[in-house]
Structures are given as C-alpha cells and as structure tokens.
Amino acid sequence: MYARRVNSTQLREKFQIRRNGFTLVELLVVVSIIALLISILLPSLSRARKQAKSLLCLSNQRQLAQGWHMYANDNNDIALPGRFAKLSGGTSNPANWFDVGNGKKYRPRWVATMGKQVGIFAFNQPSTTDDRQDYDSKVYACPAVPKWIDERNYAYGYNHQFLGNGRKTEGRFHNFPVNLTKIRSLAGTVLGADCLGTAAGVAQHERKPYDNSGTDYAEKGNHGWTLDPPRLTDMSDRGTGDDDSPRTAVDPRHQERANVVFCDGHAETMTPQRLGYRYREDGAAIDLETVEDMPNNSLFSGNGRDDDPPVLPQFLNQGGPA
C-alpha cells in the first residue's frame, strides 16, 4: 500500500512537470512574438539613430557658423569668401597662405576660416603646400557621411555666389568683397548646408560613390565645399567654375532633408524644394531648363528676393554670353 502511494506521488510529480513545460507550438509562438516586436522596434531605432546624427550635424554647423560674424567683425564688415583667390606662384607664394588658428594654410576654404574664429581648428597640422587636406576635427564631419572630410570634396557647401565668391576671371573677382551689413535678411539667407557637390547636376542613376581624392563630376561630394543657389543663369558661376562643370545643390541626406545654417546662426532641417530647388524626372537638379515651377533664390540672395546670381566678369560688358 505504501509503495503504491509513493508511485502515485511520483506519477503526479512527473505529470505536473510535463504540465508546466513548453510545447513546441508554444515555443514557436513566443519566438514569433519576439520576432514581431523586433521588426516593429528596429525601424524606430533606426530612425532614432538617424535623428541623432542629424541633430549632431546641426550642432556642428551652428558651432562653426558663429565664426562667420566674427570674421566680418575682424575684417571691416567683409563676409568671408568661399575661398581666397589664387595669386601667382601658387603654394610657393606666402600671399596664398592664411592663418587658420594653429598655423598657416594654403588657400583654406570657408569652413576652416570660420573654425579659426571660434577656436575649433580644422587641421592638426595645416599645410602651406597641400591643397587637399582632410579635416581632422570631428566638428567638421557630418555624421551621416563621416568620410566626406576632404577640404575640396566636402560635406558642407557655402553660399559663396551671393556671400563671397573669391574666384577671379580676367583679373576681376566673381563676387567679392561682400559687406555683411548689406545682407538685409540674415535669418532668411542660407550660409551653408549639406551639399551633394557636382553630382547634384547629374542624373541619379549616373552618380558614383564618394571619392576622397576624386575629381569626377558624377561622384557624390565632388567639389562639395561650394553650394550653388537653386536658380542659375547662363551668365552665372556654377560647380567647380570650369566651363563644363555641372551645378552643385543641397544633399537631402537626413531622412530626405538637408541641414541648413543661416546667416543669423540658426539652423534648420529642410527639404530641397522648400529651399527653392527643383528637380528633373531623373533626379538631377534643374539647371538652365525652363519649367513651370522654376527654382527660386529668395533664401540665398540676401534680401529675400528671387535675384539672379552675380554675373561672371567676362559678361559684365558684353550683354550676355557669346
């Protein structure tokens, strides 16, 4: 009798164990639920990461932009040029060397000059002989494209056509000097923005990956330190300044939007269309095409009007291009 009671107890314990365990179906259900939750959460996490990168990019732009006003204050109200004009002798001419805070640099671009003003130096060892240095400070890198740090093929472009184009043709500046006090709408004038470089003027299917030392017009980021305004003319500058160069335009790399800093120092995330850009069906930014909804320069001109970009020197006395 005792033995039977013991066996019954053991059977009940075994039965209880089986009842408390998971069947294969139950395990599959749990795994499916976990997989579903992950599939729901991953896009949210991805968006959060992208948003964090965008916010860091905005912070970087705001920090550097403070140097724009400081430069003008130190230089008789003259806004900094996108790049200083090239004088004879190239790298061997000290007149082509400029202080970037921790040394002399051969014809630095706009962003390094602003960085000097706020004490965020662009290069660990600025060079008077190197035209294509990489920016060393992390503040100069856009987190969404962290490898775009070559000073020529750069992530951020300057509204140089309206704010200070130091290029020269026939001995005359394209548009320099520009007085800061003549810019009537600081809060409504783009200073700089995420830039796709000359690839913006190329059809999307023809664009090539970024090349840090490249010069191909179709490569993303090529000559990205310059930002052309939305509407160009056949008498205006464009892209690299070469006759065959495509235009540049903003890069909507932050969830279909571009980060933009304005002349008053505030920064926003905006669509290219809101900035005034328009696009062909193949994805290239409108250049000289006439379309019903034309590109608009009101956020670039400095006065809130849709002005033409400055006319190149060779056309000033000719009434237009040949």
For 235-279, the pLDDT digits (tens) are 999 999 999 999 999 999 999 999 999 999 999 999 999 999 999
Residue, of 234 and 11, whose pLDDT is higher: 234
The number of residues making up the chain comes to 322
- Separation between Cα atoms, residue 220 and residue 208, nearest integer Å: 6
Residue 162, SS3 per DSSP: helix
Quick one: which of 73, 55, 61 has its CA closest to 110?
61
Cα–Cα distance between 229 and 294 in angstroms, integer?
Answer: 12
Do residues 147 and 210 make contact, with C-beta atoms less than 8 angstroms apart?
yes
Total domain count for the chain? 1
Tokens standing for residue 91: 């790298």
pTM: 0.85
- Tokens for 30, please give them: 């749990």
Check residue 2 and give its pLDDT. 46
Q: Give the separation between CA 231 and CA 130, rounded to whole angstroms.
A: 33
Which residue range is the domain that position 151 belongs to? 14-315
Domain-located, residue 7: no
On whether the CB atoms of residues 159 and 76 are closer than 8 A, the answer is no
Is there a domain that residue 4 lies in? no
Residue 268 has which token pair? 């926003």
Task: Tell me which residue of 249, 245, 186 sits closest to 221, measured CA to CA.
Answer: 249
pLDDT grade, residue 28 (50/70/90)? confident
Q: Check residue 306 and give its pLDDT.
A: 98
Tally helices (H) and strands (E) across the chain.
5, 9
Coil/strand/helix, residue 205: helix
pLDDT at 25: 75
- pLDDT, tens digit, for every residue of 53-104? 888 999 999 999 999 999 999 999 999 999 999 999 999 999 999 999 999 9
What is the pLDDT at residue 322? 39
Alpha helices for 236-294 (secondary structure H):
272-275
Main-chain dihedrals φ then ψ at residue 270, nearest 5 degrees? -135, 155
CA distance 192 to 262: 7
Q: Per-residue confidence at 321, pLDDT binned at 50, 70, 90? A: very low
Q: Is residue 146 part of a domain?
A: yes
Q: What is the signed CA dihedral for 225, 230, 236, 242, rounded to 10 degrees?
A: 40
Q: Determine, yes or no, domain membership for 87.
A: yes
The model's confidence at residue 21, banded by pLDDT at 50, 70 and 90, is low
Cα 193 to Cα 154, 197, 210, 228, 257, distances in angstroms:
11, 11, 18, 11, 11
Is residue 37 assigned to a domain? yes
Tell me, what's the pLDDT at 44? 62
Query: Under a CB-based contact definition with an 8 Å cutoff, are residues 166 and 85 in contact?
Result: yes
- The DSSP annotation for 16-85 comes to HHHHHSPPHHHHHHHHHHHHHHHHHHHHHHHHHHHHHHHHHHHHHHHHHHHHHHHHHHHTTTBPPPSBPP
In a domain? residue 105:
yes
Q: Side chain identity at 285, as an amino acid letter?
A: A
* Residue 2 domain flag: no
d(CA 71, CA 313): 26
Q: Is the pLDDT of residue 281 over 80?
A: yes
Tokens read off for 214: 């490249």
- Average pLDDT of the segment spanning 282-303: 96
Indicate the helix (H) or strand (E) that contains 10. helix 2-20
Average pLDDT over residues 27-46: 75
* Residue 320 falls inside a structural domain: no
Is residue 320 predicted with pLDDT exceeding 90? no
Q: Give residue 204's pLDDT.
A: 97
**Given this model, what pLDDT does residue 205 score?**
97
Distance CA 103, CA 115 (A): 13
Mean pLDDT of 177-193: 96
The average pLDDT across 134-161 equals 98
Q: What tens digit of pLDDT does each residue of 304-313 get?
A: 999 999 999 9
pLDDT value at residue 316: 86
pLDDT given at position 10: 59
pLDDT for the residue numbered 128: 98
Averaged pLDDT, 116-129: 98
For the chain, what percent of residues have pLDDT higher than 90? 80
